Structure 1
Amino acid sequence: MNAPATFDPQAFRAALGTFTTGVTIITTRTAEGEAVGITANSFNSVSLNPPLVLWSLARNARSLAAFSAGQYWNVHVLAAEQEALSGRFATQGSDKFAGIALDDGIGPAPLLPGCTARFQCRTAFQYEGGDHVIFVGEVLAFDSSGRAPLVYQGGQYALAARKPRQELRLGATPPPECSYTEDLLGYLLGRAHYQLLDRLRRLMASQQLDEHLFFVLSVLCIRDNLTLDELNAFVAYTGHRVSAQSLAELERRELIAGEPGRDGSRRYLLTAAGREQSLHEIALAKAVEGDVADQLEPGDVMALKVLLKRLVAATDPGLPDLWAGR
């Protein structure tokens, strides 16, 4: 038999980390009834018939004795919004189950709610595998919610998005000499923006409100007591410019009120009617977002928002932060 290969442990760990996995929490109970749970990404399927799954636990783990002695354990495949729960069960020395309303399961092992999938298992056998102990369990029951899963890759949490079975084409293939294609990021972002905005415009039209006034009310809903120049600084990224005439129109409709500031400039605030109107507009925007989200996978929506936030941060020319403290 050849001598075992020698590796740099950190490099080996990093290489293994390139394999994308889901994130699970494994739970059991001690003979004294104490709930035990850990975060793990070593979960895998073994067999469909009989239904078997496996996972592994480090031999120096504090919870090894509980899992080795326990007959029942549950595997919880975490949903994308359960990252905080994953972090809680990855730590030691705290009451990990505090505040969690557990579901009833077949065995005594704790059953956590809100997961993508859950597998209630009974130990079939366990064996040593290097510096870990491998647990193989018979699946007694399972359920799946369809929620987007939490993903782990390269030492970081990630989001899963479905890849189309074939490349999406929005239109005819451009001629070879044309360098402007539908894969251009600016085109895709612009088209998506205007398609969404078109839906919102139709809803706003029923409120006798154009997008120009919509931007003003939206900004003042988040941060009011602004001057005309400050308003324009916040909406500069839209390509629109707020005019004194626009503010006068909103004042005439009693949606905003102008007051003299200490520096002599005129500052604008939402009236009660303006705040109500603004909240109604936000509801319209949320309705448009909801219609679009219904046509996408939940994981796609979350991944899209994360990527767009990164893009906003990466391309920010130094615009003032509307949500920052004064």
Structure 2
Amino acid sequence: MTTTAPIDPTEFRRALGAFATGVTIITARAADGTPLGMTVNSFNSVSLNPPLVLWSLANSSLSFDAFCKAEYWAVHVLSAEQQELSARFARRGEDKFSGLELDAGIGGIPLLRGCAARFQCRTASQYQGGDHVIFIGEVLAFDRDETAPLVFHGGRYAHATRRDPAEAKPRSAHLAGSFGEDFLGYLLGRSHFRFFAQIRPHLVEAGLSDEEFYVLASLTLKPLMSAEDLAAGMEGVLDEQSADALRALVERGFARVASPASSTSSASYELTDAGRGCALHLISAAKAVESQVLERLGHADAVVLKSLLNRLLTVIDPQAAALWGRGET
């Protein structure tokens, strides 16, 4: 006789979390017309012909009876930019649809906007499966968008990116033990220099050095920038060069002292009208360069790239937050 050890529910959940899934929101209407919606990651395809999909709902769900009685429902595959929407529909006890712009679907289904894909379905069958009921739906209509999907893996949100099957293996240097083609410093450094090279002609035209432009752009982040916050934000980036750049901007009339230093606080600086005009002109040029680069990269990978770089920045440069304000939103 074969015996097995009891399954630990917590460890079982963690093991299931090793499988990355998309994140969806299922919507429908209750019999009284009330819109229903909840975040679900149990969505899957069943058949292409006929087009069938499935998802499952816990027997303990507050919306269990309403979803079981609904003839029509919609599956929304969320985009990478809809993490907050996912969190909203995962919470209980609030009007999840408040303030949202909706489309009307088949049978009056409320349809959310901005999703990677939407499937409008009619209930084909329901099956009891342990502590969940499994819904099989016939897809009556669908639409999709070329946007990066939101992914859930290991108990947290993640991003998906495409990988070229023909992508070459990173090359190694001739000298054993030297940097490889996938060395992070090489990738970041070369990308930065090539990206910034497309912006520099605009700086030359404005008569600004790289350092002066960086400080000028930093002064646009807040109405008033204290010397203390500017120094903290520039630590490890410009260091003492930031003071020279700031002094040059003041001398040229692009920035001014808004409040002198006192015994309890450092001096604060603000942009002049000329400084704002120059900054906005240069930043517009930089954003145009960014737009061209990201268009070639593709929207989905651009979202992933920015997310990873933001995470990297929090790991290696926690002082960067000083430029944006301490705890401000």
Q: Do the two structures share a fold, i.e. TM-score over 0.5?
A: yes
Amino acid at match of 2:164: P
Report the 3-state secondary structure (helix = DSSP H, G, I; strand = E; otherwise coil) of the residue aligned with 2:323: coil
1:58-207 equivalences in 2 (<5 Å):
58-168=58-168, 174-175=173-174, 177=176, 179-207=178-206
Q: Is the 8 A contact 1:231 1:242 kept in 2?
A: no
Find the residue that maps to 1:222 and give its secondary structure: coil
Q: Is the 8 A contact 1:25 1:75 kept in 2?
A: yes
Shift of 1:242: 3.2
Structure 1 residue 253, shift from structure 2 partner: 3.4
1:28 aligns with 28
Q: Quote how far apart the aligned CAs of 1:107 are.
A: 1.9
Structure 1 residues 284 and 59, CA gap change in structure 2 (3 angstroms)? same
Letter matched to residue 287 of structure 2 = K
Q: Identity rate of aligned residues, in percent?
A: 49
The equivalent of 1:303 in structure 2 is 304
Read off the aligned partner of 2:116 and give its amino acid letter: T
Report the alpha carbon displacement of residue 208 of structure 1 after superposing the two structures with TM: 3.0
The number of aligned residues is 324
Task: Evaluate the alpha carbon distance shift between residue 115 and residue 248 of structure 1 in structure 2; reply closer, same or farther with a 3 A threshold.
Answer: closer
User: In the superposition, relative to structure 1, how do residues 136 and 182 fare at CA in structure 2: closer, same or farther (>3 Å)?
Assistant: same
1:249-268 correspondence runs (5 A): 249-257=248-256, 261-263=260-262, 268=269
Q: 1:276, CA displacement in angstroms?
A: 1.6
Q: CA deviation at 1:246?
A: 5.0
SS in 1 for 2:220: helix
**Any residues of structure 2 matched to 1:50-65 within 5 Å, and which?**
50-65=50-65
Alignment partner, residue 220 of structure 2: 221
Confirm whether residue 273 of structure 1 aligns to residue 274 of structure 2.
yes
Partner letter of residue 54 of structure 2? L
Q: For 2:318 and 2:98, how far apart are their aligned partners in 1?
A: 44
SS at match of 2:39: strand
Please tell me whether residue 242 in structure 1 is matched to residue 241 in structure 2. Answer: yes
The one-letter code of the counterpart of 2:135 is F
Q: What SS is found at the alignment partner of 2:256?
A: strand
Contact 2:35 2:110 in 1 (8 A): yes
Hey, what does 2:322 align to over in structure 1? 321
Is the deviation greater in 133-142 or in 292-301? 292-301
2: distance between equivalents of 1:133 and 1:2? 30
Q: For the Cα contact (< 8 Å) 2:253–2:275, is it kept in 1?
A: yes
| Letter paired with 2:310 | K
Q: Is the 8 A contact 2:72 2:106 kept in 1?
A: no
Instruction: Kindly provide the CA deviation profile for residues 7-63 of structure 1, in whole angstroms up to 9, marking residues without a partner as x.
Output: 000100110011100111111112211111111000000010100001111112121
Cα–Cα, structure 1 residues 27 and 3, in superposed 2: closer, same or farther, change >3 Å? farther
Provide the secondary structure at the position in 2 that maps to 1:191. helix
Q: Secondary structure of 1:7's partner?
A: coil
Is 68-77 or 266-275 further displaced after alignment? 266-275
Q: Secondary structure at the match of 2:291?
A: helix
Residue 46 of structure 1 corresponds to which residue in structure 2? 46
How far the C-alpha of 1:67 sits from its partner, in A, is: 1.5
Q: What letter corresponds to residue 152 of structure 1 in structure 2?
A: F
Per the TM alignment, residue 221 of structure 1 is displaced from its structure 2 partner at its CA by 2.6
- Decide whether aligned partners of structure 1 residues 247 and 16 sit closer, same or farther in structure 2, where only a CA change above 3 A counts: closer
* 1:67-96 deviation line (CA, Å, top 9, x unaligned): 211111111111111111111111122111
Alignment-mate amino acid for residue 20 of structure 1? A
- 2:230·2:322 contact (CA, 8 Å) conserved in 1? no
SS of 1:137's equivalent?
strand
Task: Report deviation, 1:268.
Answer: 4.8
Q: Give the CA deviation at 1:173.
A: 5.1
Pick which of 85-94 and 2-11 moved more: 2-11
Equivalent in the alignment of 1:292 = 293
Task: Point out where structure 2 has 5 or more consecutive residues left out of the alignment.
Answer: none
Paired residue secondary structure (2:241): coil
Larger displacement relative to structure 2 (284-293 or 191-200): 284-293
Between the aligned partners of 1:104 and 1:256, the Cα distance in structure 2 is 52
Gaps of 5+ in 1: none
CA distance in 2 between partners of 1:318 and 1:28 (Å): 46
Contact 1:79/1:148 (CA < 8 Å) preserved in 2? yes
